[in-house]
Amino acid sequence: DSGVTQTPKHLITATGQRVTLRCSPRSGDLSVYWYQQSLDQGLQFLIHYYNGEERAKGNILERFSAQQFPDLHSELNLSSLELGDSALYFCASSVTRAGETQYFGPGTRLLVL
Amino acid sequence: GESVGLHLPTLSVQEGDNSIINCAYSNSASDYFIWYKQESGKGPQFIIDIRSNMDKRQGQRVTVLLNKTVKHLSLQIAATQPGDSAVYFCAENMRGSARQLTFGSGTQLTVLP
């Protein structure tokens, strides 16, 4: 157990809908990272927050957004969902903002029908 | 753009043998590398890391070797066990103001009885 929690574990929804994925980092970690893992793309970095502020953006679509709250938990919002958004979404946390050792949560499996 | 890649997508070894998983990286600005293990249905699990000022680092049954001359990283697993069966990813972290991990495509390790 990495200490990173994610909810929900599974999510099934329809195209055009909006969903919110939640992540709680390990105790003491200030950084939260979101990744998407699909069969054809591997693990792709989406976005990084440090202590409530956005630090870096990766291959994140404009339909996707995230935020980190004062209690350091983070939410990833996916809207206008398409079939191709079906994937595993992981969050990871680390102590610093340097992007170093990141501990991953168990992931949320999203299926868009 | 530069990225981390893996030489082999699959590797099968006999239980008790040693395993070697390879990874090539092309970004000379990378100064920190991590190996992750991902079991089916789970999030990536940190195994071992190494900084660019080191050539070798050992953990419990695992050793990471870094050859900066040829930009090559390897993970050696001693006395491979059935529980080692998983996908192994290498990830690199580049110097810069917006650090993030870039993952390779992964190697599926299968331990044969």
Give strand pairing partners of B4.
B25
Q: Chain A partners of B50 at a C-beta cutoff of 8 Å?
A: none
Among A16-25, A30-39, B39-48, B94-103, the minimum mean pLDDT is found in B94-103
- Report how far residue A103's alpha carbon sits from residue A96's, in angstroms, rounded to the nearest whole number: 12
Per residue in B28-74, pLDDT tens? 888 899 999 999 889 999 999 999 999 999 999 999 999 999 999 99
A104-113, B48-57, B92-101, range with the lowest pLDDT:
B92-101
How confident is residue A40, by pLDDT bands cut at 50, 70 and 90?
A: low
Residue B49 has which token pair? 């890391």
Q: What are the Cα distances from residue A98, in Å, to A51, B55, B61, B65?
A: 12, 22, 28, 23
Q: What is the pLDDT of residue B25?
A: 86
Distance CA A79, CA B30 (A): 34
pLDDT for the residue numbered B3 = 45
**Closest CB to A107 among B43, B105, B106:** B43
- Is residue A23 within 8 A of residue A89, CB to CB? The reply is no
**Which residues, in sequence order, are bridge partners of residue B33?**
B50, B92
Q: Kindly indicate the confidence band of residue B1, based on its pLDDT and cuts at 50, 70 and 90.
A: very low
Q: Round to whole Å and give the CA distance between B80 and A20.
A: 40
Q: How far apart are CA A32 and CA B6, in angstroms?
A: 26
Taking CA–CA distances from A90, the nearest residue in chain B reads B43
Share of residues in chain A with pLDDT > 70 (%): 96
- Average pLDDT over chain A reads 93
Q: What is the pLDDT of residue B97?
A: 47
pLDDT of B14 strictly over 50:
yes
Nearest CA in chain B to A94: B100
Distance from CA of A76 to the nearest CA of B (A): 17
Tens of pLDDT along A63-102?
Answer: 999 999 999 999 999 999 999 999 999 999 998 766 678 9
Instruction: Tell whether the model's pLDDT for residue B99 goes beyond 90.
Output: no
A26 close to A11: Cβ distance less than 8 angstroms: no
